[in-house]
A and B are shown apart, each in its own frame.
Chain A
């Protein structure tokens, strides 16, 4: 699986958009970009994923560059409850011929401030 690079930490003002970048310059054509977050010591929580196109759901938006070498997770209106560690992961799609392992990096600690 391709490796990812994320900033160690970021701050965001409450109510503003939080933009979390991720570099994955060695990503392969069949690898998806996934975002998870971990609040305090809970189990990681799925946020969003994508392959080529930008994606949006009720939690966030995912913007993937055209060359797929980087992406940005956008939390449109950050709240204090969004304070967490955010992990960007690239992963080969599950199939009978691969294991689909998820390798977590260090992630970005997002601190949302009042």
Chain B
């Protein structure tokens, strides 16, 4: 199993541009999460999903959108990028019977 795969690893955006951060897991996990981590800070939950077709807001959802059309994929959409969205983004997944949260390697995003 590849685990949780995030793409791209790095990206620079201009203010107002949009992009989609991709996240895929091959462990058939029901639960998936998007976190962001600002420099020197802890992780903040953006959005999460408990299964295909079901998503909900976390602590810091403003400026982001998500969808969950399949169990495997959980993309995060930034519509109008702002400098405040400069951060490292982590995707994670957790199976219903599992005991561990598996994280991807992260996407480092800079908005200039």
Q: Do A and B bind each other?
A: yes
Task: Verify A43–B96 contact, CB threshold 8 A.
Answer: no
Contact flags A27-38 to B (C-beta < 8 A → 1, else 0) = 000000010100
Asked if residues B45 and A103 are in contact (CB atoms below 8 Å), the reply is: yes
- Shortest CB distance B111–A (Å): 18
A100–B56 Cα distance when bound, in Å, is: 12
Residues of B at under 8 Å CB distance from A?
4, 31, 33, 35, 41-45, 48, 50, 56, 58-59, 88, 90, 92, 94-106, 108
Interface residues of A (CB under 8 A from B): 34, 36, 41-46, 49, 85, 87, 94-96, 99-107
In terms of DSSP, what is the predominant structure of the interface of chain B? strand
Question: Chain A contact residues: over half helix, strand or loop, or mixed?
Answer: loop
> In the complex, A69→B96 CA distance in Å?
26
Q: Are A94 and B31 in contact (CB under 8 A)?
A: yes
B98 near A94 (CB under 8 angstroms)? yes
Instruction: Name the B residues within 8 Å of A34 (CB-CB).
Output: 101
Determine the residue in chain A with the shortest Cβ distance to B101.
Answer: A102
Q: Do B42 and A101 have beta carbons less than 8 Å apart?
A: no
Query: Is there contact, CB below 8 Å, between B42 and A102?
Result: no
In contact, B31 and A46 (Cβ under 8 angstroms): no
A36–B88 Cα distance when bound, in Å, is 17
Whole-angstrom distance between the alpha carbons of A3 and B111 in the complex? 32
The answer to whether B106 touches A42, judged by C-beta atoms less than 8 angstroms apart, is yes
Q: How far is the CA of A107 from the CA of B99 in the complex (A)?
A: 20
A99 touches B31 (CB 8 A): yes
Q: B31 and A107: CB pair below 8 A?
A: no
Task: Tell me whether A43 and B45 are in contact (CB under 8 A).
Answer: no
CB distance from A62 to the nearest CB of B (A): 13
Among A46, A87, A100, which residue has its beta carbon within 8 angstroms of that of B42?
A87
